[in-house]
Structures are given as structure tokens and as C-alpha cells.
Amino acid sequence: MGIKIGLVGLGTFGTIFAPLFAGHPLVDSVVLCDAEADRIAQNAAIPVVARKLVNSQCTQNFDEICKSDCDALVIMTQPWLHAPQCIQAMEHGKMVYSAVPVISLPDDQEILDWCGKIIETVQRTGVEYMLGETTIYRPHTMFCKRMAKEGKFGDFVYAEAEYAHDVDAFGCSLREVAAKRAQGKIGEQRAGIMKPYYERGCKSHPMNYPTHSVSGVVDVVQSRPVKVFACGFRNTNEDPYFANYDFTNITGLFYLENGMSFRVSEMREISPNIGLDGEDFRIFGTRGSYSNNQWADNGRTVPTPDRKENKMTKLTDEEMRDPLPEEVVAAFTEAVKEEKGHGDFMFGGHGGSHPYLVHEFVSAVAERRRPAISAWDAAMYMAMGVAAHQSAVRDGELVQVVDFGKRW
């Protein structure tokens, strides 16, 4: 028997994911929840959703879906709401999938507190949490994890990663996204929620959404970030979007438990064409390295003065991806065909990560196991961002990364 899943938050992102969650072969039935009735109606009309929909349980009220008989809830609401909503759902026995980040608030200590509360809820209730971090299922992350497992990097030496998303980026303007998220019954509450934070001097910054940049490398090298020093860039043109920001760009250098260093940049005010993809990483080991869709191997497996040929291998995304089970690909293909009228299964946005995230979460619910990107992974990523911001505020002082106990 399959599972019953509740989809909460049917805005831009939730609507993209709805056919995948509904289309997964282990999902028997779907319940929809959004404060806006038209968003429920729009998602209910997606063919694969319509086929599995329990119409009588669809609701505009989050409390109601928490009390329903769904096995799990997928929470894709505005980013300042995730953590308390996830905890409420877990308290009702619902395994949760949260859109990133864990929570977005202009108060570093409160971010850490919410991470701690989520871990405590998982421990006390036995109900699991998964953060839907897309970088974990990008092709290069999957490839590097396989190479790391086989020891092909040797010892990890250095890595760098960035999320370079300019406020006016072509294709995804952060101004437009923020304006849209501040609309509707829930969105309109944002200004009132944020006001007290800004009144007591809290500032927004790009490191309160660090999950795209930090997660991939840490997931590959599987070593705990210990400390960081960071520098921040302040907006100079009085752009109103950044009125409540202290820094618009922050770069930090982390030291990891395994002895490597890791440069992370979160940038919201940066021209395009920095020579890098907006969301990418490079990882270098004593033997092998990954950079820009290329694997390099110096063939050095033992200390030796003999020089070996450096082998460079260009890789396509298809070569780097892990396979998905055939029946899952077939089901997603059918779902896309029903919705769009053609049968080409596209892996879609964020490096094709969406189907993998859906498959991992649904499988974990069905198997009643801890999912990938657990509460501990999520807390570690957020703690890295908080520590980097704190270091930038203190002009590059070395700051310890709070240890939530993530071990491999």
C-alpha cells in the first residue's frame, strides 16, 4: 500500500513539485492546502493530481491538514514560516519535507534555536524531517559523492562553492520573487512579522540562506565545519531592496574537521558572468579533483616521486547523475505527459534535482526511515551561515560553527 501525502503551499515552487509528488508510484492519494482557494483549484486541475486527489480533505487551513490522516506533509510555504509549520506537522505525527531554508529570519540566534527545536522534535516524536535542498541532487554532487566513496579524491584539500544570485538576475529577479511572496493572505503578514526584528536592529544578510552553497561540498567530503572567518560587502547605492541588510555579499573560509579548507560565497549583488555557474562547486583532493564538469586524476595512490600522467575527463550531466528506478522515471514521464501533452521526461530545474528529492522523500516515508538531508544536515548548513555572518559582523574574527551533532 502506498502513502497519502499533503502538499502545503501551492505558490510558484509548490506548483512545480505537485505533479512529481502526485505522480510518484508510491503515492496513492494527495491532499492540497493553501490559504488561497484559487491556488488549490489550479493544482487540483493538474491531471495526475486530479486522479489521486482527496477533494473532500483539501483545505485553506493549515491546522486542518495537520490533523488529517496524511502520512506526510510537503511544506513549500514562504521561507519565514517553514520551521514552526514543520514542527506543528511533526507534533501531529506527519513526516515533513521542508522547502529551503530551514527558516529565513533576520536573527541568527533564532535561526539556531529553530534548528535545535526541529532536532528535539525529531528525537522526541520519532517523526522525521527532510530539507529539500536541491544542490544535494545536482549531477556534480551525485558524481563527486561516488568518487569520494571510492576514495578517488585522496585526502580532501580545498573546496569552493557559491550561490551567486544577483537581486536583478535575468530569469529570476529577487525583487519580483519577494514582492510575490508578500502577496495574499499569508504574504501580507510579512511586513508586520519582520518589523519588530528590524526595530531591534536585526539585519538581513545572504548567509541566512546558505544551503545551496554549503550543502554539496559538505555532503561529498562528509566532514564537520569547525570554524570560519568571513568578510562582507555592504550595498553602497541605497537600493531600497537592501534597506534592512547589513551585507549583500559574504565570503567565508571554513576549516573542516578533516583538515581541508572551504571557501563559500553567498552573493546577492553581483554582476553576471563571474566565470562560474551561479550554484556550483569545485573540490580538490591530493589525488583527484572536480571542477566545471571535469574530473582530473593525477594517479597518485601512494606517496611516490614517480610522476604519473594527469588524466582529464570531461563529463556530461547525464554521465554524472545517479540512475532513478525505471518505474519512477516511467511514472514521472506519464505525469509530465498528462500535464503538458507530450511524453518527454525532463529532469527540470535546479540541475534536474526535483525528481530525486521527491523520490527520496516519498521512499523514506513509505519505508519509515530517516531521509537524506535530515534535521541534523539542515541544522549544520544553517549553522555555517550563521557563523559566517557573525564573523563578517565582527570584521573577520574567527567564529566557531555551532555543532548540532551531525556525524557520518
Ligand X SMILES: NC(=O)c1ccc[n+]([C@@H]2O[C@H](COP(=O)([O-])OP(=O)(O)OC[C@H]3O[C@@H](n4cnc5c(N)ncnc54)[C@H](O)[C@@H]3O)[C@@H](O)[C@H]2O)c1
Residue 66 binds ligand X, judged by CB under 6 A: no
Q: Which residue has the cell 509528488?
A: 21
Cβ-based nearer residue to ligand X, 142 or 147 = 142
Pattern 158-177, ligand X, x by CB under 6 A: -------------------x
Q: Burial letters for 302-333: b for 16+ Cβ neighbours within 10 Å, e otherwise?
A: eeeeeeeeeeeeeeeeeebbeebeeebeebbe
Say if residues 147 and 290 touch (Cβ distance below 8 Å). Answer: yes
Cβ-based nearer residue to ligand X, 79 or 106 = 79
* Min CB(171)–ligand X separation in Å: 12
Residues 94 to 153 in contact with ligand X, rule: CB under 6 A: 99-100, 134
**DSSP state, residue 204:** B
Cβ-based nearer residue to ligand X, 9 or 385 = 9
The closest alpha carbon to 208, from 387, 35, 403, belongs to 387
Q: Burial letters for 262-285: b for 16+ Cβ neighbours within 10 Å, e otherwise?
A: bbbbbbbbbeeeeebebbbbbbbb
Beta-carbon count within 10 A of 407 CB: 8
Cβ-based nearer residue to ligand X, 280 or 297 = 280
Cell digits for 230?
Answer: 568571513
Residue 36 binds ligand X, judged by CB under 6 A: yes
Q: Which stretch binds ligand X (CB under 6 A): 178-186, 302-310, 384-392, 400-408?
A: 178-186
For ligand X, which residue of 3, 5, 7, 10 counts as binding (CB under 6 A)? 10
Q: Which stretch binds ligand X (CB under 6 A): 75-83, 256-264, 303-311, 321-329?
A: 75-83
Q: Measuring CA to CA, how many Å separate 319 from each of 322, 323, 331?
A: 8, 10, 22
Question: Which residue number is nearest to ligand X in terms of Cβ?
Answer: 11
* Min CB(289)–ligand X separation in Å: 26
Residue 79 binds ligand X, judged by CB under 6 A: yes
Residues 236 to 255 in contact with ligand X, rule: CB under 6 A: none
Positive or negative CA dihedral for 166, 170, 172, 176? positive
Say if residues 311 and 299 touch (Cβ distance below 8 Å). Answer: yes
Give the footprint of ligand X on this chain (CB under 6 A): 9-14, 33-36, 39, 62, 76-79, 81, 99-100, 134, 177, 180-181, 184, 186-187, 350
